[in-house]
Structure 1
Amino acid sequence: MRNMLKHVALTSSALAFIMGAPAAARTLDPEKPEDALEIMKRTQCGTADGVPAVYHWSGRVYSRVQGEPDRLLFNGEGMNIRQCVRIEDPKRGVGYRQVSREVMFYLDPKTNEVLRTWDNPWTGETVKVMQIANDPVNSRPNYPYSADGKPYKISTLRRQGKWMFMPFEVPLFYHNVLAGDYQDYVGNKYHAMEIFDFAFLADEMLDTRNPTAYPTISWVRISDWMPWMKMRGRQGQMVFNAMGAKLKSYDELPKVIKDEIALNYPEYTAPPPGDDPRKNETTWTVFKKMIDAERAAEKEKK
């Protein structure tokens, strides 16, 4: 009986290997909608559906004010933890949904410690620093075909030797929750530009024997002042510039990030649930909720 079971086990293992061999040897073709979607999924997601993936970035934050030199305001350390889940549509095919939450901490550019307060050099006021902590930051479902049958394509993807590059520019211009109801007439809309540049080894990405890929990323954001800075409409912008990569585990994050998450953001050690129905948060929506709660608390005291 033992020998027979051993023979069955060996036969099953051999059969599994033979059946899996063609898929294991496949090379993704970016021109095929299903493969293009898989390339994007391998860029964004973990080693399997439901397995968390972590992106880390590190950089600097500058001011840009007309008529004066740019100033280094902060160092920055950030991370995004996400998971992807499989979704199906009878017309659009098999796709995925990505759910995530992210933090970025403003650090003193001299000591590299997380800042709790900041001395505003333009107003002379000391203000409380509100770190970037957005939960959730979820993406729309992605499929190999759109609702009208248009095939999925990564229009910016290009190959150069052993490398593949995938840049994205995201112009943002939308309703500012901190402004009034007449933004089309008097301004104050949220206006920013975010730039994401992914780079990865072609062999790692395209070979399906690898469960995922580990791209590097550069991130640039040009935006208005953060609301917690209390700039009172002062002319100027912020320029964020950072680089990083997708990590193989949460433990690879820098100590300063893990320590701050453990202290103040414990939920950021895991992504949201795959069926998370919440609306996305931004610094502006989070800040509004914080100010509204503080004002309500003050009102209760009176």
Structure 2
Amino acid sequence: MMLVWREMMTLMKSGLLAVGVAACAMLAAAGAQARTLDPAKPEDALEISKRLQCGVSEDKPAVYHWSGNIYGRAPGVRDKLLFKGEGMNIRRCVEVNDPQRGKGWRLVSREVMLMLDPKTGEVVRQWENPYTGETVEVMHIHNDPVNGRPNFARGADGTPFTLGSLREAGPYVFMPFEAPLFYTNPLTGDYQEYVGGEYHAMEIFDFGALRSELYDSTKPTAYPMISWVRISGWAPWMKMGSRPGQMVFNAMGRKLPGGFDELPEVLKKEIRANYPIYEQAPPKDDARPNETTWTKFKMLTDKAREAAGTVDKSGEGH
């Protein structure tokens, strides 16, 4: 009996030793692969940017959510809180390859932002414009697609990819981005360089993330917070004509670990009822031109005019 017991103990010890050796080998391999990303290195900076923007993989889209206030600002009167805003962007990052620059990634996405009644929180369908007294149909933001250019560790001229705005503060990483916008307005004529009318706006995106999450190569992605500000002209559906003034959007949010299902009910309900394709990111090979509020409004207005048989009348006189 004792002999059998000794044999059993010997076998168990041998087995435990083998398991221990295997475990050590696995830990050593994991340790060799795990490292802290360095934003000063172009390849790591590219990966950090991807982890900030993207989901776990190409097949598991990321969802950003934000909420805030939308103000109107006109000369000589107090700013008006026009709407509460609830927005989302669903996106995926796809791998791209370049013969000279190697592997990179490209963002494909679509977005929705709802205008809500500031008092009730309900989705606004028709709205009495406080500046004109006219009741107008609200066109909620629903842009598809909103895609980015390919990103590589090196530019076509060999310039390294950098995160110039990145700032580390204790356990946090901050990355502010300003996007000054000034380009041809699709709703105005062919002589904007002479008489004005260009689209002129500023969008500001401020990201904040934990260093321990953003720089950890063993984590497939990060879940940063974001603040978003847009200063732009009146939305075209407001029918403000040439009245001076602007809109100010101010919102905060984050990338949602739970994806679409973690969005507020008001967004999920409205998207599923009226914008169902926005529950999924665009296809990986999406090559369509981007949409904006202005191009979307033009497309919908042109369709409505065509359906009604309305002829566009050009201006007359001097």
Q: TM-score, normalization: structure 2? A: 0.88
1:87 paired residue number: 96
2:60 paired residue number: 51
The question of 1:76 aligning with 2:77 is answered no
Q: Report the Cα distance in structure 2 between the residues aligned to 1:290 and 1:12, rounded to whole angstroms.
A: 63
Report how many aligned residue pairs link the two structures: 291
1:284 paired residue number: 294
The question of 1:107 aligning with 2:107 is answered no
1:7 paired residue number: none
Deviations 1:137-168 (A, max 9, x none): 00000000000000000100010000110000
Q: Considering only CA atoms, is the larger Rg found in Structure 1 or Structure 2?
A: 2
Deviations 1:87-109 (A, max 9, x none): 12132121101100000000000
Correspondence list, 1:132-211, <5 A: 132-211=141-220
1:18 CA displacement: 4.6
Structure 1 residue runs of 5 or longer lacking an equivalent are 1-9
2:314 paired residue number: none
Tell whether the 8 Å contact from 1:50 to 1:85 is kept in structure 2 after alignment. no
Tell whether the 8 Å contact from 1:87 to 1:96 is kept in structure 2 after alignment. yes
Tell whether the 8 Å contact from 1:50 to 1:84 is kept in structure 2 after alignment. no
- The AA in structure 2 aligned to 1:290 is L
Q: TM-score, normalization: structure 1? A: 0.93
1:273 paired residue number: 283
Could you list the runs of 4 or more consecutive aligned residues of structure 1 that deviate by over 3 angstroms after TM superposition? 10-21
- The AA in structure 2 aligned to 1:119 is E
Correspondence list, 1:242-281, <5 A: 242-248=251-257, 249-281=259-291
- Partner secondary structure for residue 242 of structure 1: strand
1:19 CA displacement: 3.5
1:80 CA displacement: 0.1
Deviations 1:148-202 (A, max 9, x none): 0000001000100001100000000000000000000000100000000000000
Q: Report the Cα distance in structure 1 between the residues aligned to 2:114 and 2:203, rounded to whole angstroms.
A: 18
C-alpha spacing 1:213/1:113, structure 2 compared with 1 (3 Å): same
Q: Report the Cα distance in structure 2 between the residues aligned to 1:179 and 1:20, rounded to whole angstroms.
A: 58
C-alpha spacing 1:237/1:148, structure 2 compared with 1 (3 Å): same
Tell whether the 8 Å contact from 1:51 to 1:84 is kept in structure 2 after alignment. no
1:13 CA displacement: 8.8
Q: Report the Cα distance in structure 1 between the residues aligned to 2:22 and 2:304, rounded to whole angstroms.
A: 64
- The AA in structure 1 aligned to 2:145 is P
Residue of 237, 241, 247 corresponding to 1:238? 247
Q: Report the Cα distance in structure 2 between the residues aligned to 1:88 and 1:14, rounded to whole angstroms.
A: 36
Q: Report the Cα distance in structure 1 between the residues aligned to 2:160 and 2:126, rounded to whole angstroms.
A: 49
C-alpha spacing 1:242/1:15, structure 2 compared with 1 (3 Å): same
Tell whether the 8 Å contact from 1:53 to 1:82 is kept in structure 2 after alignment. yes
Tell whether the 8 Å contact from 1:205 to 1:213 is kept in structure 2 after alignment. yes
Deviations 1:207-234 (A, max 9, x none): 1111110000000000000000000110
- Partner secondary structure for residue 94 of structure 1: strand
C-alpha spacing 1:13/1:86, structure 2 compared with 1 (3 Å): farther
- Partner secondary structure for residue 66 of structure 2: strand
Query: Percent identity, aligned pairs only?
Result: 61
1:203 CA displacement: 0.6
Q: Report the Cα distance in structure 1 between the residues aligned to 2:68 and 2:309, rounded to whole angstroms.
A: 40
- Partner secondary structure for residue 309 of structure 2: helix
Correspondence list, 1:24-63, <5 A: 25-63=34-72
2:12 paired residue number: none
2:7 paired residue number: none
- The AA in structure 2 aligned to 1:260 is E
- Partner secondary structure for residue 110 of structure 1: coil
1:81 CA displacement: 0.1
